[in-house]
Amino acid sequence: MSHSPIILLTNYHVAPSHRAEARALAIGRRLNREIVVVSACKQTRDKSALPISALGIEQVKGRLNKFWRLLQANADASGITARAARLGAHFLIISMPHGNFLTRLIHGFQAANIARRATCPVLVVKNQVDNRYRKVMIATDFSIASKAAALAALSFAPEAKFSAVHAYTLPDEMLMHELGLRSNVIKRYHSEAADRATQNLAHFVESLHSTAAVENYVVHGTAYSTILTYASWIDADLIVIGKRAGAGLWSLLTRCLMRQLLQKTQCDILIAPATDGNHLARHVAPVDREKRAAHP
C-alpha cells in the first residue's frame, strides 16, 4: 500500500458523500492507495436530547441552519487543504450535491475554494458511480498544470476514451475588423492560428506518453463555452482541467472558470495544479504564444 493517501472529504449530504466514497474506493483499489476520511462538518447535539420547543425552533430555522453550515464549510477550506497537505495527499475527493440554484452556487463556490487552495489534484464527484469512467475530456492550454491534470486522469482511468480539447482566439480580431481588413485576410490569420493550435495540441498529447486513445479537437471560441459544448457533445463523464497558480490575471480567470464549470456541468470534474513531479510537462513546447482561451 502506497504511503500517499487519497483524502475523502465527507459532509452532511448523505447520498453525495456515498457517491464520493464509492469513487474514492474504486480509485484507491486501482492505485493501491489508502483512503483517509475527513469530515467537513462539526458534530452537533443529538436532537432527541432537545426539548420539544427547541425542536420546533430547529424545524423553523432548518433552512437557515443548512445555509449557515454551507458557509462554515467554505470557511474551513483552508483547514481542509492544510490537513490534506500534511498527510501528503495523492488526491482529494469531494462530493457536490444536486439541487436548486442556491445549493449549486454555494457548493460550487466551496469546491472551487478547496480546489484553489489544494496542492494535490481535486476530484469533484457529482454522479452515481456505476462503473469506471468511460469518456474523459481534457481541456488544455498546454500548460504544466494541464499536463498534471491529464496524467492524473490517465493514472486512474486508463481504459477510458480521452478527448483533448483546446479553445483558441485570434488576437486583435476586433481591431482587424475595425481597421477594415478584408475578410479573406482575417480568414488567413484564423487558419494560421488554428494550425498552430493544432500542432501545439499534437505535441501536448504526444508528451503524455499514453497508450490510451486520444482524440484532438481545436476550437475557435472561449474556454467556458467550448468545454460545455464538447462535454455535452461527447457525453463526457469526467472533465479534466489544470489550475493556474499565482495572483495574476490568468489565475483569476482560472478561478472564475472553475466556479462556472462546477455550477453548470453535470459530470465529475478533476482539477489539478502544476507539480514539480511532472517533469515531462516541461517538454511541452508550444509552437507559438498566440492568445489562448482554454485556460482552466
Amino acid symbol at 163? S
Last residue of a domain, one of 109, 130, 151: 130
Q: What is the mean pLDDT of residues 238-246?
A: 82
- Assess whether pLDDT exceeds 80 at residue 79: yes
What's residue 55's pLDDT? 43
The answer to whether residues 77 and 219 belong to one domain is: no
The CATH number of whichever domain residue 63 belongs to comes to: 3.40.50.620
Residue 177 cell numbers, joined:
475588423
Task: Give how many domains the chain has, as a whole number.
Answer: 2
What's residue 246's pLDDT? 52
- Assess whether pLDDT exceeds 90 at residue 149: yes
The answer to whether residues 108 and 7 belong to one domain is: yes
- Assess whether pLDDT exceeds 80 at residue 154: yes
What's residue 54's pLDDT? 46
What's residue 41's pLDDT? 57
Beta strands per DSSP E along the chain: 2-10, 33-39, 91-95, 122-125, 135-139, 161-168, 214-220, 238-243, 268-273
The answer to whether residues 100 and 147 belong to one domain is: no
What's residue 165's pLDDT? 96
Q: Which residues make Cβ contacts (< 8 Å) with residue 231, sequence separation at least 6?
A: 137, 239, 265, 267
The answer to whether residues 94 and 172 belong to one domain is: no
The answer to whether residues 66 and 178 belong to one domain is: no
Residue predicted with more confidence, 3 or 164 = 164
The answer to whether residues 191 and 233 belong to one domain is: yes
CA distances (Å), origin 2, targets 21, 29, 138, 259: 19, 11, 27, 32
Domain ranges, residue 36: 1-130
Q: What is the mean pLDDT of residues 168-181?
A: 80
Half-sphere exposure of 283 (CA within 13 A, CB side): 10
91 pLDDT tier (thresholds 50, 70, 90): very high
The answer to whether residues 159 and 275 belong to one domain is: yes
What's residue 293's pLDDT? 40
Residue predicted with more confidence, 177 or 25 = 25
What's residue 288's pLDDT? 38
Q: What is the mean pLDDT of residues 102-107?
A: 65
Q: Which residues make Cβ contacts (< 8 Å) with residue 284, sequence separation at least 6?
A: 142, 144, 147, 203, 204, 207
DSSP assignment string, 41-107:
S-----GGGS-HHHHHHHHHTHHHHHHHHHHHHHHTHHHHHHHHHHTT-SEEEEE----SHHHHHHH
- Assess whether pLDDT exceeds 80 at residue 239: yes
Average pLDDT for the chain: 77
User: Is there a contact between 144 and 273 (Cβ–Cβ < 8 Å)?
Assistant: no
Average the pLDDT over each of 188-202, 234-248, 257-271 and give the range with the smallest value.
234-248
User: Is there a contact between 158 and 211 (Cβ–Cβ < 8 Å)?
Assistant: yes
The answer to whether residues 217 and 294 belong to one domain is: yes
- Assess whether pLDDT exceeds 60 at residue 8: yes
CA distances (Å), origin 257, targets 65, 66, 237: 29, 26, 18
Reference 144, options 244, 290, 256; nearest CA is 244
User: Is there a contact between 273 and 145 (Cβ–Cβ < 8 Å)?
Assistant: yes
Q: Is 19 exposed, middle or buried (0-12, 13-18, 19+ CB in 10 A)?
A: buried
**Range picked from 14-28, 181-195, 224-238 for highest mean pLDDT:** 224-238
- Assess whether pLDDT exceeds 60 at residue 70: no
Reference 164, options 193, 205, 194, 198; nearest CA is 205
The answer to whether residues 147 and 290 belong to one domain is: yes
Last residue of a domain, one of 92, 108, 130: 130
39 pLDDT tier (thresholds 50, 70, 90): confident
The answer to whether residues 47 and 142 belong to one domain is: no
The answer to whether residues 102 and 204 belong to one domain is: no
Q: Which residues make Cβ contacts (< 8 Å) with residue 291, sequence separation at least 6?
A: 168, 169, 170, 171
The answer to whether residues 88 and 138 belong to one domain is: no
Average the pLDDT over each of 19-23, 53-57, 182-186, 191-195 and give the range with the smallest value.
53-57
Last residue of a domain, one of 130, 158, 178: 130
Average the pLDDT over each of 93-107, 110-124, 131-145 and give the range with the smallest value.
93-107
Cα–Cα distance for residue pair 32/66, rounded to 1 Å:
36
